[in-house]
């Protein structure tokens, strides 16, 4: 019988959530939902030195914003809990002990100072096949001494004993056949001196306990796969080993290496999903959400980092992604991150989303900018008029300003050189006759007719009219703007602008 699909996103709560992490969560989620499976959030917090207060809540909030909700998690619970590794501490030691008893692991008593000294001697020092004989461990010390050290509670770790001259091979659903030479893999620590497991032991024990069927994770974990595979084997669980799926890296825009938060800072774009404030330094790192990305666009652009559906189609909603996603179409090669393209997705989503659905978000952004909106119907009209011009939700503030307040300044330079008393007279006459019962097309016709009657080419007057209403040379159709503003407002703006142009 096919194993039931159970996948996990297993972040360590160490800080902001990188977009690569969200993409890992997303691909896990898509695969789970497509197979009527279960998507689990497991918090890997065994490294107390890297633990950051608030990081778990932040991860949960980022996933929620993206609409990627776990079926089992520390927050929702589930039959395979606890879902925080720190709360599962008691379960790991037995496996380390079992590995020792079976000769697959050993005690190591080397002090941090001794290890440092080794690293000073040789900067490429690793604890393993070629060096373990020269270290203080249960492979080199007489057993009586080992017993004595253990019974006197001398600090020690447990390390995996990597076998010599073996090839660990496996099939990765994206990479195909992969193999590692065990001579090149070091004897990783499995259980630390504080009794906490390391990532390597905990990840295998928990993937087994939680009956994980597929491990979707970033390519940076590929070098750890041979250790994990040996642990599955040594613990006697090889038959239940999940399938491996190592996702391609997300690269810097120039393709030169993995995209880091520092690249984002340097190049001026976000790398985290949401704003993250470092609790120690108080430093704020801006996220996609607060910059004005729609979650639908964020999810869409992440899905396209390393995947496509085989056609030219680029816009997909979450339900469409669930339907169309396939591991076979995930590429092996790293995906370059292009912030301009990211904005293109956001623009497309804003443009294609109905104004009433954008309204709550826009209202919130206006509120943070101190722009109070009292008339929802008017705001709806404004959103409809300008949404095509917004790459970011925050652009609404800039684009909508003149709908809520008369321009404080006019682009005089654009108008003044060709401004005449006759033009001023035209606008005075026009503003007095503005008829709200006409639609935008009829308005335009009337404007043109009047311009010709006054001896102007209509084109000469269009730009001044726009600058009068908006303050500058931007915005949607000028008659749409005029109709939204209404006759009284138009008259006032024409008057104020005329004074500025004269
Ligand atoms: N805790 C690891 C991380 O922070 C999880 C890696 C894995 O999925 O095995 O990404």
Q: What is the pLDDT of residues 261-318, one digit of tens each?
A: 999 999 999 999 999 999 999 999 999 999 999 999 999 999 999 999 999 999 999 9
Confidence of residue 378 (pLDDT cuts 50, 70, 90): very high
Q: 70-79: long-range contacts (C-beta < 8 A, 24 or more apart)?
A: 70/9, 70/39, 70/40, 70/41, 71/32, 71/38, 71/39, 71/40, 72/38, 72/39, 72/40, 72/41, 73/40, 73/41, 73/42, 74/41, 74/43, 75/41, 78/40
**Ligand 1 nearest-atom number relative to CA 199:** 1
Distance 217 CA to ligand 1 centre (A): 7
Which residues, in sequence order, are bridge partners of residue 158?
Answer: 107, 191
pLDDT at 101: 97
The answer to whether residues 293 and 308 touch, using CB atoms and an 8 Å cutoff, is: no
Dist. CA 500–CA 496, nearest whole Å: 7
The answer to whether residues 478 and 459 touch, using CB atoms and an 8 Å cutoff, is: no
Question: Residue 284 in 3-state DSSP?
Answer: strand
Dist. CA 24–CA 39, nearest whole Å: 12
Distance 246 CA to ligand 1 centre (A): 11
Question: Which H or E run contains 247?
Answer: strand 243-247
pLDDT at 58 over 70: yes
Confidence of residue 370 (pLDDT cuts 50, 70, 90): confident
Confidence of residue 464 (pLDDT cuts 50, 70, 90): very high
Q: Are strands 284-285 and 214-218 parallel, antiparallel or unpaired?
A: unpaired
Size (the chain), residues: 502
First to last CA, the chain: 84
**Could you check whether the bond before residue 88 is cis, i.e. omega within 30 degrees of 0?**
no
What is the average pLDDT value for the chain, to the nearest integer? 96
pLDDT at 470 over 90: yes
| Nearest Cα residue to atom 10 of ligand 1 | 11
For the chain, the structural domain boundaries read 6-88+249-336, 92-247, 355-401, 412-501
Distance 220 CA to ligand 1 centre (A): 9
**Ligand 1 nearest-atom number relative to CA 11:** 4
Question: For residue range 94-104, what is the model confidence (pLDDT) as tens digits?
Answer: 999 999 999 99
Question: Fold for domain 6-88+249-336?
Answer: Rossmann fold (3.40.50)
Phi-psi region of 285 (alpha: psi -120 to 50; beta: other; left: phi over 0): beta
pLDDT at 1: 58
Q: Are strands 276-277 and 284-285 parallel, antiparallel or unpaired?
A: antiparallel
What is the average per-residue pLDDT within 424-452?
A: 95
261 annotated active-site: yes
What is the average per-residue pLDDT within 322-342?
A: 97
pLDDT at 398: 86
What is the average per-residue pLDDT within 170-192?
A: 97
Question: Residue 257 in 3-state DSSP?
Answer: coil
| Residue of 367 and 300 predicted with greater confidence | 300
Q: Which residue intervals of 35-111 are DSSP H helices?
A: 55-66, 89-101
Question: For residue range 24-41, what is the model confidence (pLDDT) as tens digits?
Answer: 999 999 999 999 999 999
**Ligand 1 nearest-atom number relative to CA 215:** 8
CATH class in words for 92-247: alpha beta
Instruction: Provide the greatest CA pair distance for the chain.
Output: 111
pLDDT at 244 over 90: yes
What is the average per-residue pLDDT within 352-365?
A: 95
Q: What DSSP line would sit under 388-446, residue for residue?
A: GG-SSTTHHHHHHHHHHS--SS--HHHHGGG--HHHHHHHHHHHHT--TTS-HHHHHHH
pLDDT at 9 over 70: yes
pLDDT at 487 over 70: yes
pLDDT at 191: 97
- Which one, of 297, 299, 219, 247, lies nearest residue 33 by Cα? 299
pLDDT at 11 over 80: yes
The answer to whether residues 231 and 199 touch, using CB atoms and an 8 Å cutoff, is: no
Dist. CA 379–CA 396, nearest whole Å: 11
- In percent, the amount of the chain with pLDDT more than 90 equals 95
Best of 8, 56, 199 for a ligand 1 pocket test (most atoms within 8 Å of beta carbon): 199
Confidence of residue 329 (pLDDT cuts 50, 70, 90): very high
Beta strand ranges found along 128-231 (DSSP E): 157-160, 167-172, 176-181, 189-191, 214-218
What is the average per-residue pLDDT within 16-23?
A: 96
Q: Please, what sign has the CA dihedral across residues 46, 47, 48, 51?
A: negative
- Describe the strand order of the beta sheet including 176-181 as a list of residue ranges: 38-41, 6-9, 214-218, 243-247, 167-172, 176-181
pLDDT at 462: 96
Confidence of residue 372 (pLDDT cuts 50, 70, 90): confident
The answer to whether residues 378 and 326 touch, using CB atoms and an 8 Å cutoff, is: no
CATH class in words for 412-501: mainly alpha
């Amino acid at each position: 019988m096919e194993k039931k699909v159970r996948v996990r996103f297993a972040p360590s709560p160490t800080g902001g959530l990188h977009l690569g992490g969200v993409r890992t969560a997303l691909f896990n989620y898509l695969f789970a939902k497509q197979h009527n499976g279960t998507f689990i959030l497991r918090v890997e917090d065994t490294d107390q030195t890297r633990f950051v207060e608030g990081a778990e809540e932040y991860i949960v909030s980022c996933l929620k914003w993206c609409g990627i909700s776990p079926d089992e998690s520390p927050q929702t619970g589930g039959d395979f809990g606890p879902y925080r590794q720190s709360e599962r501490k008691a379960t790991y030691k037995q496996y380390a002990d079992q590995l020792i008893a079976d000769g697959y692991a050993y005690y190591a008593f080397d002090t941090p100072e001794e290890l440092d000294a080794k690293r000073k001697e040789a900067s490429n020092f690793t604890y393993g096949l070629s060096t373990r004989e020269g270290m203080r461990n249960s492979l080199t010390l007489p057993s009586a001494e080992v017993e004595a050290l253990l019974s006197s509670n001398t600090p020690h770790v447990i390390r995996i004993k990597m076998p010599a001259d073996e090839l660990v091979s496996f099939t990765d659903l994206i990479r195909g056949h992969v193999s590692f030479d065990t001579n090149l893999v070091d004897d990783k620590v499995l259980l630390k001196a504080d009794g906490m497991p390391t990532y390597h032991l905990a990840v295998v024990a928990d993937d087994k306990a939680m009956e994980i069927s597929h491990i979707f994770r970033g390519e940076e974990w590929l070098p750890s796969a041979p250790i994990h595979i040996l642990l599955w084997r040594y613990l006697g669980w090889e038959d239940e080993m999940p399938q491996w799926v190592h996702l391609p890296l997300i690269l810097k825009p120039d393709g030169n290496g993995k995209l880091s938060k520092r690249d984002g800072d340097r190049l001026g774009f976000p790398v985290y999903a949401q704003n993250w404030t470092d609790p120690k330094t108080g430093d704020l790192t801006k996220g996609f959400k607060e910059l004005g990305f729609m979650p639908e666009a964020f999810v869409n652009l992440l899905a396209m980092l390393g995947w496509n559906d085989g056609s030219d189609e680029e816009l997909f909603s979450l339900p469409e992604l669930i339907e169309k996603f396939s591991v076979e179409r995930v590429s092996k090669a790293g995906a370059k991150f292009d912030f301009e393209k990211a904005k293109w997705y956001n623009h497309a989503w804003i443009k294609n989303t109905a104004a009433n659905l954008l309204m709550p978000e826009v209202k919130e952004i206006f509120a943070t900018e101190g722009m109070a909106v009292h008339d929802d119907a008017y705001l709806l009209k404004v959103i409809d008029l300008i949404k095509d011009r917004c790459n970011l939700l925050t652009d609404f503030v800039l684009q909508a300003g003149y709908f809520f307040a008369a321009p404080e300044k006019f682009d005089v330079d654009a108008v003044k050189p060709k401004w005449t008393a006759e033009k001023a007279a035209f606008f005075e006459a026009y503003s007095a006759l503005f008829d709200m019962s006409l639609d935008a097309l009829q308005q335009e016709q009337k404007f043109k007719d009047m311009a010709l009657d006054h001896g102007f080419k209509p084109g000469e007057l269009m730009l001044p009219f726009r600058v009068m209403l908006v303050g500058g040379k931007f915005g949607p159709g000028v008659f749409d703007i005029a109709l939204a503003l209404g006759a009284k407002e138009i008259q006032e703006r024409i008057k104020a602008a005329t004074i500025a142009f004269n």
